[in-house]
Homo-oligomer: A and B are copies of this chain.
Amino acid sequence: MTRLVSGLLLMTAAAVAADEWKMPDPARTVYLDLPDGRVVIELNPAFAPETVARFAELIGQGFYDGLPFYRVIDNFVAQGGDPAETREIEGGGRNLPAEFERDWNDDELVFVPAQAPDLFAPETGFIDGFPAARDPATGKVWLTHCYGTVAMARGNEPDSGTTDYYIVIGQAPRYLDRNLTVFGRVVTGMEHVQRIRRGPAKTNGVYEDPAKATDMVRIRLASEVPEDQRTVVRRVDTEDDSFKALLESRRDRQSEWFHHKPPEVLDVCQVPLGAEVLKSPANPHNAR
């Protein structure tokens, strides 16, 4: 008899309704090809318009191709980019503005609540497939640092991001919220990201010899790849009633499996955001 860790069973049951799926727009979908497989990232221009534009521009220039993940810390982040500034940015201009938070706007955004208060914010929830938080007192809303979050690194100044980005690969570092520009989220392929080689602990994860680090093979915008060679994914529609029901079933656990009923709270970063690959090209690394 199989003894299972319960918990995700409810997720599976709630995730079958076809109407809860959404197909990310190819113009805001990125294929990050790693040696082990393809990672699909959804960009978020509603929160980080300038960073998304720059990232897409750099991708189009082939700026990132072959650059290593030069700082990789288990249970924290895998960071790539061009820290030594060896590559030219076509069109010039390096520093990106801070896009750490934005104003709430009822006409534009739909907030599906998860938790209030959360440990790190007055309110957490989901906005168009992304974990988010907001503060009713200030009217500000921001994307949270969760597993799979893609964000832009920076120096000491808020507006000092350029090309270096990171993917969160462990326990949500929520203390970074509103301190860095979150501009995307890994939708599928985190298992490939997890195979990126960790850097030396003594240098805080930074490779002294970048040749030992894991290279990104290639990165492309889905919309720039011919349609028959795209990886087609769908992810949960966080505004759908079935997702709201999933949230409720995880907040208020009814299963008899729970010997000790958990407190009726939700960690916004622990809610599984279901996604699946519907169609893969035969060899994604050859597809252009």
Question: Inside 8 A of A171's CB, which chain B residues have their CB?
Answer: 146-147, 171-172, 267, 269-270
A151 CA to B259 CA, complexed, in Å: 16
Instruction: Check if B272 sits within 8 Å of A3, measured CB to CB.
Output: no
Taking the complex as formed, is A100 at the interface, i.e. its CB lies under 8 A from any CB of chain B? yes
Question: Inside 8 A of A161's CB, which chain B residues have their CB?
Answer: 3
Taking the complex as formed, is A75 at the interface, i.e. its CB lies under 8 A from any CB of chain B? yes
Shortest Cβ gap from A182 to chain B (Å) = 12
* Interface residues on chain A, number (Cβ under 8 Å): 79
Shortest Cβ gap from A195 to chain B (Å) = 6
* The one of B162, B191, B256, B260 that contacts A100, using a Cβ cutoff of 8 Å: B260
Taking the complex as formed, is A118 at the interface, i.e. its CB lies under 8 A from any CB of chain B? yes
> Can you pick out 28 interface pairs between chain A and chain B where the beta carbons lie within 8 Å of each other?
A1-B83, A1-B155, A2-B83, A3-B153, A3-B162, A4-B79, A4-B204, A5-B79, A5-B151, A7-B76, A7-B176, A8-B76, A8-B204, A8-B205, A9-B204, A74-B194, A75-B148, A75-B272, A76-B272, A100-B260, A121-B263, A158-B259, A174-B267, A175-B250, A175-B253, A179-B258, A179-B262, A194-B194
Seed contacts A119-B267, A172-B270, A179-B262; 5 additional CB < 8 Å A-B pairs: A1-B85, A3-B160, A9-B204, A120-B263, A146-B171
